[in-house]
Amino acid sequence: MKTVAFIPARYQSSRFPGKPLAQIAGKPMIQHVYECASACPELSEVCVATDDKRIAACVHEFGGKAVMTEKSHRSGTDRISEAALKMGLEKDDLIVNIQGDQPIFHPSQISRLVAPLTEDESISMTTLKYKITEESEIRNPNHVKVVTDRHGFGLYFSRSPIPFYRGTTSSEDYYKHLGLYAFRMGFLIQFNRFSEGVLESAEKLEQLRALEHGFKIKVVETPFDSIEVDVHEDIKRIEKMLCSQLH
């Protein structure tokens, strides 16, 4: 069994066309993501799954590996399913989906992500959550929230604030869903064959497809946030954080 990370990356984006190639501190964003992933000791290999030759050329230029995929995929997970099949991965291999717009995630997040899959064969899919500390993120639809059961399995993911606290309480905790996933290859193939769910279509959240089809997602808490680049203005924020890390 090996663990392979895929970074789905497409050029077209309504809010930020060409986002994977956006320059951040002198490097394209996709390279930052690739290098963060490569620093994780659990990973056997890192690969970019893309439908655009410009992105593939960029990856090859900095020495990375890229696999070309179709343009018609509904989500990044569907894209990596095609790439994983093209690479001939086995059903027991672990597949990690790392979003291409998170250029400074902590490598230990991958370690936490894959641990449940190596420890419990009954678990097919995992993801991460982070306790929200910035109040502005609670009502920001770009920051997805998650609630879990007592055993750490996801109950629901939403762009709205969940749970709804009715009345006054001393503690109102919200958790942000971080867009990193891990799957067993066999389940990833199955996931790709599921029809799109009503909730997935409404929220535009691919992980809801698994819940709507009756499958559990183990949600692991991490002490590290993962900052996403949603719009051009986010790049300056990332660069400031990179600069502070260097000094």
pLDDT above 70 for 40: yes
> Which pLDDT tens digit goes with each residue over 81-130?
999 999 999 999 999 999 988 999 999 999 999 999 999 999 999 999 99
Q: Is 211 helix (H, G, I), strand (E, B) or coil?
A: helix
Task: Kindly list the distances between the CA atom of residue 24 and the CA atoms of 46, 52, 67, 205, 229, in Å, as whole numbers in the listed order.
Answer: 20, 20, 23, 27, 10
Residue 222, H or E segment: none
Mean pLDDT, range 69-92, rounded to an integer: 92
Write the pLDDT tens digit of every residue in 152-161.
Answer: 999 999 999 9
Span 28-34, average pLDDT: 95
Give me the chain's average pLDDT, please.
Answer: 92
The mean-pLDDT minimum among 15-24, 26-35, 138-147, 154-163 falls in 15-24
CA separation for the pair 77, 97 (Å, rounded): 7
Q: What is the pLDDT of residues 137-177, one digit of tens each?
A: 999 998 999 999 999 999 999 999 999 998 766 688 999 99
Predicted pLDDT of residue 209: 95
Number of folded domains that form the chain: 1
Confidence band, pLDDT 50/70/90 cuts, at residue 247: very low
Average pLDDT over residues 63-68: 96
Q: Let me know: does 110 contact 117? Beta carbons within 8 Å.
A: no
Domain that holds residue 39: 3-246
Q: Is the pLDDT of residue 14 over 80?
A: no
Distances (CA, A) of 206 to 77, 170, 180, 193, 244: 8, 33, 12, 13, 34
pLDDT of residue 169: 67
Provide the pLDDT for residue 236.
87
Q: Specify the pLDDT at position 246.
A: 54
Rounded mean pLDDT of 210-220?
A: 97
For helices 53-61 and 29-38, what crossing angle results, to 10°? Answer: 50
- Count how many residues are written for the chain: 247
Residue 54, domain CATH:
3.90.550.10
pLDDT given for residue 230 in this prediction:
80
Percent of the chain past pLDDT 70, that is, above it, reads 97
Tell me phi and psi for residue 16, to 5 degrees: -155, 75
- The pLDDT score that the predictor gives to residue 227 is 84
192 vs 74: which has the higher pLDDT: 192
